[in-house]
């Protein structure tokens, strides 16, 4: 099917400024939402898991949202991970005339953290009862999060993130979530600071876009409810959170 080009402008802060003028709508969803009242739109949004059946539409949306090329193979690999309970994909859907359209998506993979366990002080492992924990620790890696241009600055990204945190927190061995943000994307940086992420590192030249390299900021959010499972009166929760952040920062470049 030939990709449609509607007479509206797409704006994504994930793109370098010099490439933004080339952005055009590809997804069919825009013809249903562009001219509608925002309150009506928001009232018809719901969240659900994404599956392989959504790959075709996700591929179109990702071309609008991100300057990095996400091939069908990328999505099949992600969903293979999800199907063995090593990740999660959540979509924000707009319901219109009996049909549902993806307007936002967040994809997350669970990363085992052997390095954290090996570098964690032995006395802390004992005091926090971590030695009794059978599975290695995990971090949830948010590989992508995106929202249709029409819904930006209406809180949909925060709702998607909260849906993810709610689901990831059910995996008690997952103690934190993290992601990379390209350094020029000021709106994304502000978004993660607002949602209580900590900037823990910079990876130089991480992104390669149109023959130019860009740095990535690494953001981490400790999952407080999961950390509390291991907390006791002998060890302060805030100190434990700081320790997780410090250890994560020390291994992020080589492990993830």
Q: Say yes or no to pLDDT of 125 above 50.
A: no
How many separate domains does the chain show?
1
Q: Is the per-residue pLDDT at 237 higher than 60?
A: no
Identify whether 11 is part of a domain: no
With CA atoms as reference, report the closest residue to 106 among 73, 137, 144. 144
pLDDT at 149 over 60: yes
Residue of higher predicted confidence among 110 and 38: 110
Residue 44 class from Cβ within 10 Å (0-12 exposed, 13-18 middle, 19+ buried)? Answer: middle
Per-residue model confidence (pLDDT) at position 217:
93
Report yes or no on 199 lying in a domain.
yes
Would you state the pLDDT for residue 251?
55
Q: Tell me the DSSP string of 60-84.
A: HHHHHH-SS---HHHHHHHHHHHHT
The answer to the question of residue 9 being in a domain is no
pLDDT value of residue 232 = 47
Q: What is the Cα–Cα distance from 236 to 238, expressed in whole angstroms?
A: 6
What is the domain-level CATH number for residue 109? 3.40.630.30
Nearest residue to 147 via CA among 78, 87, 17, 58:
58
Is residue 8, in this structure, part of any structural domain at all? no
Q: Is residue 193 part of a domain?
A: yes
Q: Is 114 helix (H, G, I), strand (E, B) or coil?
A: helix
pLDDT for 122 equals 45
CA distances from 224 to 88, 141, 227, 254 (A): 20, 17, 5, 25
Q: Enter the DSSP assignment of 3.
A: P
Per-residue confidence (pLDDT) for residue 63, from 0 to 100: 93
The distance from CA 231 to its chain's CA centroid, rounded to whole angstroms, is 27
Record the pTM.
0.82
Interatomic CA distance for residues 213 and 206, integer angstroms: 7
CA 254, CA 256: separation in Å to the nearest integer? 6
Q: Which domain holds residue 58?
A: 17-255
Residue 233 lies in a domain: yes
6 domain-assigned? no
Give me the chain's average pLDDT, please.
80
Can you read off the two tokens belonging to residue 117? Answer: 């366990």
Task: Please report whether residue 136 resides in a domain.
Answer: yes
- What's the rounded mean pLDDT across residues 69-79? 92
């Amino acid at each position: 099917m030939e990709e449609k080009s509607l007479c509206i402008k797409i704006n994504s802060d994930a793109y370098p400024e010099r490439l933004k003028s080339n952005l055009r709508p590809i997804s069919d969803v825009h013809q249903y939402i562009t001219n509608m009242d925002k309150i009506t739109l928001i009232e018809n949004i719901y969240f659900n898991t994404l599956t392989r059946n959504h790959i075709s539409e996700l591929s179109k949306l990702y071309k609008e949202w991100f300057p990095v090329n996400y091939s069908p193979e990328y999505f099949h690999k992600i969903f293979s991970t999800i199907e063995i309970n090593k990740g999660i994909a959540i979509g924000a859907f707009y319901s219109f005339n009996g049909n549902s359209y993806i307007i936002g998506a967040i994809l997350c993979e669970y990363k085992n953290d052997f390095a954290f366990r090996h570098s964690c002080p032995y006395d802390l492992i004992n005091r926090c009862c971590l030695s009794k924990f059978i599975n290695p620790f995990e971090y949830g890696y948010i590989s992508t999060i995106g929202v249709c241009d029409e819904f930006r600055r209406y809180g949909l990204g925060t709702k998607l993130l909260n849906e993810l945190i709610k689901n990831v927190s059910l995996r008690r061995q997952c103690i934190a979530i993290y992601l990379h943000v390209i350094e020029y994307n000021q709106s994304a940086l502000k978004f993660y600071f607002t949602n209580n992420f900590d900037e823990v590192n910079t990876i130089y030249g991480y992104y390669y876009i149109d023959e130019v390299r860009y740095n990535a900021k690494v953001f981490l959010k400790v999952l407080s409810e999961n950390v509390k499972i291991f907390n006791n009166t002998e060890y302060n929760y805030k100190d434990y959170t700081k320790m997780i952040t410090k250890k994560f920062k020390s291994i992020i470049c080589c492990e993830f």
